Amino acid sequence: MDKACLAILSIAFLFLLHYLFSRHGGGGAKAKGALRLPPSPPGIPFLGHLHLVKAPFHSALASLAARHGPVFSMRMGSRRAVVVSSPEHARECFTEHDVALANRPRFASQQLVLFGGAALTTSSYGPYWRNLRRVAAVQLLSAHRVAGMSHVITAEARAMARRMCRAAGTAPGGAARVQLKRRLFEVSLSVLMETIAQTKTSSRAETSADISPEAHEFKQIVDEVVPYLGTANKWDYLPVLQRFDVFGVRKKIMAAVSRRDAFLQRLIDAEQRRLDEGDVGEKKSMIAVLLSLQKSEPEVYTDTMIMALCANLFGAGTETTSTTTEWAMSLLLNHPEALKKAQAEIDTAVGTTSRLITPEDLPRLGYLQCVINETLRLYPAAPLLMPHESSADCKVGGYDVPRGTMVLVNAYAIHRDPAAWEDPAEFRPERFEGGDATDGRLLIPFGMGRRKCPGETLALRTIGLVLGTLIQCFDWDRVDGVEVDMAERGGLTIARAVPLEAMCRPRAHMRDVLREI
């Protein structure tokens, strides 16, 4: 860093100190003394506990909870945060204080990416959010709509399996080395494109050489944006970094956002043309429904609202489902006995020669559901859920949580609580067999309460069909027999540090079935 930058940072830091002193001086100490705040690790002046923000953040917070208790507080720059890491206190947050904690904190990075808080996941709790959630739930995420989407998910999963089968047919020894995340991402994107925008990814030769141009483009955008959206992004807590943008964070975010908005605008424009030309079938896409509603209520269904909802659904729907399926395959590769058990269950329920897995088979595949539950327990897609913010003073675990406090619920730590789960770090799908799935324990990969993720039904349907197809159609091996590295990467989602690569060989009795679909 050159001297000019250092000088700018020094001056800016002095202004920041002045701001913090003037804001938190005087009466602030008295107010703090009147509250019973949660315990806190040692901090440093002005920066608070930002020096403890390490990747992966959910794991660092779990370690802090082991030392400071299931409810502890942190000072993230100028922002106060409370971290909740136990099932009983999470239930308290989402039952007794569900309304008080229904707001979202506003981060500079999220404002840039998610239309100034207009997106479903980040909008403030109130009439606007309720209307947005209703539209998403009715037009895309209801059980009825998801059931209608099942044939799309099935078709995309089968197309992926067919391309992988052809790739294996040309590979030495009949086994292809595949990087699964790219293929899984494409399936998720293709499903959303067809149901949200009534369009498909570009057709290409039936080969596994690469994913579609649309999937490649959108995955690049997601990969560039997601690292800046997590609660561990220090840029969000230090106004001086935002003002001078020394590290070019704002520039990088805006470049990716511009490309994403152009991608989505193409889909919206195409739907508008179809509406104008009357080329719309009985079953409208979600975008077509929104554009129709815009004509009667333009003040509610604004261009920004439509774009924000699409961005939210595409961003969350592609990354989380593909990541969860990738983790499930990683776990099965490291536990071949579980993989064989899941495969045998599908063979028994579906047969070994006649057909591929369908949505109607899923309720009968109990062990497959156990594998998915255990994957979501160990690797919840959003390990800290989405952050909440208190809109009123409340108490959690007997401690005061003042209005305006950010509340982080560490689902990762709750799912690995040794008081609730036997051998919590072990992959053991059998723990979910028989009776209630959680047996009174808390499993919250999609959150809880009013702000629970509305896409749970669609995500579970997609993961079940895609994972079931991969298990049914192929025999899987680790590359060179080496155990899969399960290292995690920090961020909003719990992605793998290294994308999963594996060897897939079409099962002999499935080759003809794959050729016929």
Are the CB atoms for 123 and 418 separated by under 8 Å? no
Predicted pLDDT at 367: 98
Predicted pLDDT at 409: 98
In this structure, is residue 15 part of a structural domain? no
Lowest mean pLDDT among 51-65, 141-155, 191-205, 225-239: 191-205
In this structure, is residue 200 part of a structural domain? yes
Tell whether residue 504 is among the known ligand binding residues.
no
For the stretch 55-70, pLDDT in tens is 899 999 999 999 999 9
Predicted pLDDT at 29: 39
Predicted pLDDT at 28: 38
User: Which is nearest to 247 in space by CA: 437, 76, 5?
Assistant: 5
In this structure, is residue 96 part of a structural domain? yes
In this structure, is residue 3 part of a structural domain? no
In this structure, is residue 9 part of a structural domain? no
Which tokens in the block code for residue 440?
């009174």
Predicted pLDDT at 435: 62
User: Which has more pLDDT, 405 or 2?
Assistant: 405
Question: How many Å is the Cα radius of gyration of the chain?
Answer: 24
Element (H, E) at 376: helix 366-378
Query: Using N-to-C axis directions, what is the helix angle for 336-350 and 303-334, rounded to 10°?
Result: 110
Q: Whole-angstrom Cα distance, residue 256 to residue 113?
A: 9
The pTM of this model reads 0.92
Residue range 442-464: mean pLDDT, rounded: 96
pLDDT of 132 higher than 80: yes
Identity of the amino acid at 397: G
In this structure, is residue 390 part of a structural domain? yes
Number of domains in the chain: 1
Q: Whole-angstrom Cα distance, residue 174 to residue 196?
A: 37
Identity of the amino acid at 2: D
Q: What is the CATH number of the domain that holds 441?
A: 1.10.630.10
In this structure, is residue 189 part of a structural domain? yes
Predicted pLDDT at 139: 86
In this structure, is residue 317 part of a structural domain? yes
Structural domain boundaries enclosing 409: 35-516
Predicted pLDDT at 412: 97
233 three-state secondary structure: coil
Q: Whole-angstrom Cα distance, residue 15 to residue 20?
A: 9
In residues, how long is the chain? 517
pLDDT of 328 higher than 90: yes
pLDDT of 206 higher than 80: no
73 three-state secondary structure: strand
Q: How many CB atoms lie within 10 A of CB 453?
A: 22
Element (H, E) at 81: strand 79-84
Are the CB atoms for 111 and 83 separated by under 8 Å? no
Are the CB atoms for 349 and 144 separated by under 8 Å? no
For the stretch 78-98, pLDDT in tens is 899 999 999 999 999 999 999
